[in-house]
Structure 1
């Protein structure tokens, strides 16, 4: 007998959740790339609020 849809023996963790893990990984990667491109954009490169402004200024000198 199943209690609230749960089986007597637990199912493996990765098997039913692999699509969600893959989608989460892809989403995190794309958000990180969008953030990096936004920080490095010409509009925000010299802005005082950009925490990476000093680092980007050093990179642009080379």
Structure 2
């Protein structure tokens, strides 16, 4: 019952292209997001999580 099946179904082999394309799309979106957050228009936006806090001393 729990041994090898007579007709094993390949799951990983046909899906390798989807895994590779998902990784490429993830990396591309990550780089695009980082470059957009570094633009001067968005660099000082309070919603930017990577904004450097500017402290003013009076």
Shorter-chain TM-score above 0.5: yes
Structure 2 unaligned spans of 5+? 1-5
TM-score of the two chains, using structure 1 as the length reference: 0.66
Structure with the greater alpha carbon radius of gyration: 2
TM-score of the two chains, using structure 2 as the length reference: 0.70
Structure 1 stretches (4+) deviating beyond 4 angstroms?
none
Which has the larger share of helix? 1
Q: How many residues align?
A: 49
Structure 1 unaligned spans of 5+? 1-6, 58-62
What is aligned with 1:17? 15
Aligned alpha-carbon RMSD (Å): 2.1
Give secondary structure in 2 for the equivalent of 1:53. coil
